A and B are shown apart, each in its own frame.
Chain A
Amino acid sequence: MSPLTILLIVEASAIGLILFGAPPKKVSLVAAGANFLLSLWIYAQFPAGIGGWHFVENHPWIALGGLPEIRYHVGVDGISLPLVLLTTLVTLAAVWVAPAQIKRAAEFYSYLLLLSLGALGAFVSLDLFFFYAFHEFALIPTFLLIGIWGSENRQFVSLQLTLYLGLGSLVLLAGIIALLGVLPAEARTFDIPQLTDYLRDNPIAPGQQVLPFALLAAGFGTLVSLFPFHSWAPLGYASAPAPAAMLHAGVLKKFGLYGLLRVAMPLLPGGAETWKPWILALLLGNILFIGLTTIAQKELPAMLGFSSVMHMGYLFLGLACWNALGVSGVVFLMVAHGLSAALLFAVAGEVRERAGEIRFAELGGLARRMPFVAVAFLVGSFASVGVPGLANFPGELLIFFGSWKSQPLLTAVVVWGIVISAVYQLRAVRSVFYGDLPQHLADTMDVEGAKRIPYALLMAALLILGIWPGTLLGVVGPGVRGFLSLY
């Protein structure tokens, strides 16, 4: 049995145990911890320097009517392994950060694990059906987590998110169907490696690729908050409980990018070429329009939500230019953004809970009362604005270098994002943690003891990847080369 299957089984059985009445937080922590260690082991066993699929498990699952056979086919390469590591680490941190005392705790923790299980499943699936279904599976707990445990007008936000992501998923589904539809009947399969190989040797006429790619790009794009299909994200993240925001912004949202990278771009290169100007134009909306919108935010969680939308612009740029440097940068930055976003959303949760306030105008000086939380926020902020020594920098750097040769002017505009993000991120540091401490915050307590460990884990990961990017690029580079034949 592939260790990847074990990852899935561990989370599924933890959910089962919780439903049967086991203590939710403890079980979740143990499962998440075990999965994190197991994924580290997978990373350690992963053969260095060569691409291709590893830890593969492949057997038939079900055949329905005229559908191509659905197979249980899992495996990781240098592109998905980093995302698996990201998922298990952020899951561990999110479960650890979550409060032990919360209404309907058993449900809360099962939904968190379900969300994580869906993301994991999507990242390891090599079968389009499972790939899609696992993600769909993970969206449901997202809606519930916001709808039941969210803050400001959670009903409305949850509805909006449901509609938006639901529509996005439907468009995506239509895209998958259209993709299979343009293939000759004997070539129709859900198997991603087979599809990739087949289409590399027998490309479809570019004209036929235009529609399926448009649907896939719109679907995946909505899931990653491509401008202007982003409205679900800031509100959703502002309202979601911290662990849910960590898991969705940090992990599940990467599904859309992963899908573009794994399915849409390599299978439909002609469609990608046709739509590239549109993607390039829209990602400027992410960087400039949303970047400036982020500056105008007046509350911490909303600002983090918008900032998360803005950062997707870099990733779209790396994907659109489609070369080894840029795509490796995308994989690296997906992980880095996941870690930094999780860290920042976790801090926002602590601030909301401990200070009882999220408006910048009412916050201030908290570094005096919460030095540890302040340090965590500072590290997350520096990572997020692309300071070297933290993980986001090598990712952004690779993307900028990758896109410069074909799109120098556009890249120059996107690089201005490093100034915009510094403006809003340091403003947040300034107004939450520096300056005068208002009277009503004078008794705020810092995070102490074992509760610090999830923060320390995320910070350590950001530092390790930032100081020595080779730890991950060693698998990403060959993986990208192997999957995409990009060199």
Chain B
Amino acid sequence: MAWLLLLAPLSSALLVWVALRRHPRASQAVSILASLITFVTALGIVLGRIEAPAPLAWIDFPGFRVEMGMTLDALARLMLLMVTGVAFLIHVYSLGYMAEDPGRARFFGELSLFLASMIGIIVSTNFVMMYVFWELVGVSSYLLIGFWFEKNSAADAARKAFLANRVGDFGFLLGILTFWATCGTVAFDPEAARALAGNWLAPVAALLLFCGCVGKSAQIPLHVWLPDAMEGPTPVSALIHAATMVAAGVYMLCRIFFVLELSPEALSVIAWTGGITALVAAFIATQQDDIKRVLAYSTMSQLGYMVLAVGCASTTAAMFHLTTHGFFKALLFMGAGSVLHALHHEQDIWRMGGVGRKMPLTFVTFGIGAAALAGIPGLAGFFSKEEILQAAARSQPVLFWVAAFTAGLTAFYMTRITLVAFLGQPRSEVVRHAKESPLVMGLPLIVLAALAIVAGYPFFGIVRYLGGQEGGEKSLLVPAASLIAVILGLAAGAFGYGRATKEPVAIPLFQRKFYFDEIYDWTVLKLQEESARLLSWIDQWIIGFLLVRGGAFVVSLGGEVLRLVQAGNLREYAFVFALGAGGILLLLFGR
């Protein structure tokens, strides 16, 4: 039964690919049905009705056995429920959002492929199985970012995403190899990992494995692909590049925490990477004008929080925030998508204004999501962020202040886009003609808004499900500092953008995203281009010319070969050649 989690979406993807690409209705039905089956199966697993199946041997050599199996512990079950639930809502939402797209059959097939791969990561029982689905998630992300492949920007963004992730996966694979060579297994086995304890390889393995997360979860310095990934259709941004796939990196860290915890040095590096990413992304988000890019940088920043939590040894806090963030960030993206759908893909918040009056449902639900993200007390984001800040205050005091400051920035930029896009007067013609989106898009928003309100409360039970509160008393300083930061952020946002019709202060460093793209263009890409050209030249003129043509010259001293070929008489040559080979053989052995 549990295999349905993988088989349903995989067969849907295959069916759409092979047979249904010209039949959008059928492919929508198949894909949504598959997604519903995964959600129901996940529910069955959480309720204890469905057990993990026996693993199958995928590769079986002495000393290297890779199984395809299922881990269904609390960590996996929570993640499964969140992912399949949000995915189902986004499938439904896509019915409306993609209704007029001629390629929607393909779209739903690729969504199914993504869902299968994501579930594979969640239930993995070993490193290689996780790597398999990890890569497949990258492939489906590539396909979906490049869904509108005829757009140059989308095609470039897809490639950039795949390559940035590949760099991370390079490290991830080396980490897996290191773990296997030291511990003798690729299974997630804390017992076997003891071989790493106290070994100098422990931090090496931990940090190499962490590389995978840096790519997938868009941490600095491999984050550059995530903002560009917004070229994909908005349901894709909501599902893959906000709620689920990018969180897979964090999930992976929680899953392999038994390796990470062997090395305090590695944990520190992880914590700092997360903290810096959270801060830098939040700075950038304050100055972006494209509504999806603001949300993308906020995703990156929140992922930084989760990575920080792992670095502070609190996987509970990380998973808690991952779950609530999944709800409200999917909500925000789908709200933004609803706006874009109504505004014919106008994404610049300065060309919106007054959208709230035209689209009340979208406005209210987006507002709830924004408030949850900003950390307004009483909503889900407040509780989970609080857990992370507590963990940081316990083990990384400096990063705690960074994170608290980032919380203020978060409140600030969310206030900014909400005010600028939804309130005030319409600033372009499209807004005046905007209409509320259809009900298939509205319903998922309502469900997610409800979750964004309640998911943080203790009665909802996420923390308890993950194994209860972690030790250590709660410091009162933490809520005080974060509340002050949030209030200051809200106030600054309201003051700065309450009546603004254009950007009041421009900060080029933030607008240009700390120049990461430019730096990469000028260093990594230039270096690669130039060395490729140089080597190609050497290959053509030195290896090719000297070795080949030099060799040809030596051989052709007799003149025979050259004469034959110049006469165009290749067959004759070939015949002579065959005879010659046989002749030499005879000569040498025929003595």
User: Which A residues are within 8 Å of any B CB, using their own CB?
Assistant: 64-68, 129, 133, 136-137, 140, 143-144, 147-148, 155, 158-160, 162-164, 166-167, 169-170, 173, 177, 228-232, 289-290, 292-293, 295-297, 324-325, 328, 365, 367-368, 382, 387-389, 393-394, 397-398, 400-401, 404-405, 408, 411-412, 415-416, 418-419, 422-423, 426-427, 429-430, 433-437, 468-470, 473, 477, 487
Contact = CB atoms under 8 A, between A and B. Distances in A.
B552 A67 contact: no
Given A170-B584, A177-B589, A290-B539, A426 B578 contact: no
A416 B170 contact: yes
A210 B584 CA distance: 22
Nearest to B173: A415
B536 A136 contact: no
B150 A415 contact: no
B586 interface: yes
Nearest to B113: A389
A463 B163 CA distance: 23
B552 A426 contact: no
Closest CB pairs A-B (n = 6): A434-B155, A296-B536, A296-B532, A388-B132, A65-B590, A67-B589
Contact of A170 (B62, B158, B578, B581): B581
Majority DSSP secondary structure for residues of B touching A: helix
Contact of A164 (B61, B63, B548): B548
A167 to B, nearest CB: 7
B544 A231 contact: yes
Given A292-B528, A292-B535, A400-B177, 16 more contacts: A65-B586, A65-B589, A67-B589, A143-B570, A143-B574, A163-B555, A228-B547, A293-B535, A293-B536, A365-B150, A387-B136, A388-B135, A429-B159, A434-B150, A470-B57, A487-B62
21 contacts: A65-B586, A65-B590, A133-B582, A155-B565, A155-B568, A164-B548, A167-B555, A177-B585, A231-B548, A293-B535, A388-B132, A393-B132, A398-B59, A398-B64, A401-B177, A408-B181, A415-B174, A415-B177, A416-B170, A430-B156, A437-B150
B313 to A, nearest CB: 29
B567 to A, nearest CB: 11
B585 A173 contact: yes
Interface string B131-170: 1110110010010001001111001101100110011011
Interface in B540-590: 543-544, 547-548, 551-552, 555, 561-562, 565, 568, 570-571, 573-575, 577-578, 581-582, 584-586, 588-590
Contacts of B159: 426-427, 429-430
B531 A292 contact: yes
B23 interface: no
Contacts of B158: 434
Contacts of B133: 388
Contact of A382 (B139, B150, B178, B575): B139
A254 to B, nearest CB: 20
B155 A158 contact: no
Given A140-B577, A397-B128, A416-B170, A405 B571 contact: no
B59 A469 contact: yes
A140 B539 contact: no
Contacts of B61: 324-325, 328, 398, 477
A397 B577 CA distance: 40
A40 to B, nearest CB: 21
B344 interface: no
Nearest to A367: B149
Contacts of A412: 174
A289 B568 contact: no
Contacts of B571: 144
Contacts of B514: none
B136 to A, nearest CB: 6
A335 to B, nearest CB: 15
Nearest to B539: A293
Given A136-B581, A418-B170, A387 B590 contact: no
B3 interface: no
Nearest to A365: B150
A167 B551 contact: yes
Interface of B: 57-64, 128, 131-133, 135-136, 139, 142, 146, 149-152, 155-156, 158-159, 162-163, 166-167, 169-170, 173-174, 177-178, 180-181, 528-529, 531-533, 535-536, 539, 543-544, 547-548, 551-552, 555, 561-562, 565, 568, 570-571, 573-575, 577-578, 581-582, 584-586, 588-591
A435 B149 contact: yes
Nearest to A140: B574
A284 B66 CA distance: 28
A394 B180 CA distance: 16
B570 A147 contact: yes
B152 A65 contact: no
A166 B60 CA distance: 41
A434 B132 CA distance: 26
B466 to A, nearest CB: 29
Contacts of B581: 136, 169-170, 173
Given A164-B548, A289-B535, A368 B150 contact: yes
Contacts of A389: 132, 136, 139
A175 to B, nearest CB: 12
The listed residue with most B CB atoms (<10 A of its CB), out of A64, A296, A469, A473, is A296
B173 A418 contact: yes
A160 B167 contact: no
Contacts of B178: 408
A427 B552 CA distance: 34
A160 B577 CA distance: 14
B177 A404 contact: yes
Nearest to A456: B18
Contacts of A229: 547
A297 B543 contact: no
Contacts of B532: 292-293, 295-296
Given A292-B535, A367-B149, A66 B590 contact: yes
A137 B136 contact: no
A64 B589 contact: yes
B174 A325 contact: no
Contacts of A429: 159
A394 B59 contact: yes
Contact of A231 (B128, B156, B547): B547
A324 B59 CA distance: 13
A58 to B, nearest CB: 21
Contacts of A468: 58
Nearest to B566: A155
A254 B361 CA distance: 63
Contacts of B152: 434-436
B88 to A, nearest CB: 24
Contacts of B181: 404-405, 408
A235 to B, nearest CB: 8
Nearest to A147: B570
A377 to B, nearest CB: 12
Contacts of A173: 581, 584-585
B174 A430 contact: no
Which of A167, A387, A433 gathers most chain B CB within 10 Å?
A387
Contacts of A289: 535, 539
Given A422-B166, A434-B146, A65 B584 contact: no
Nearest to B142: A426
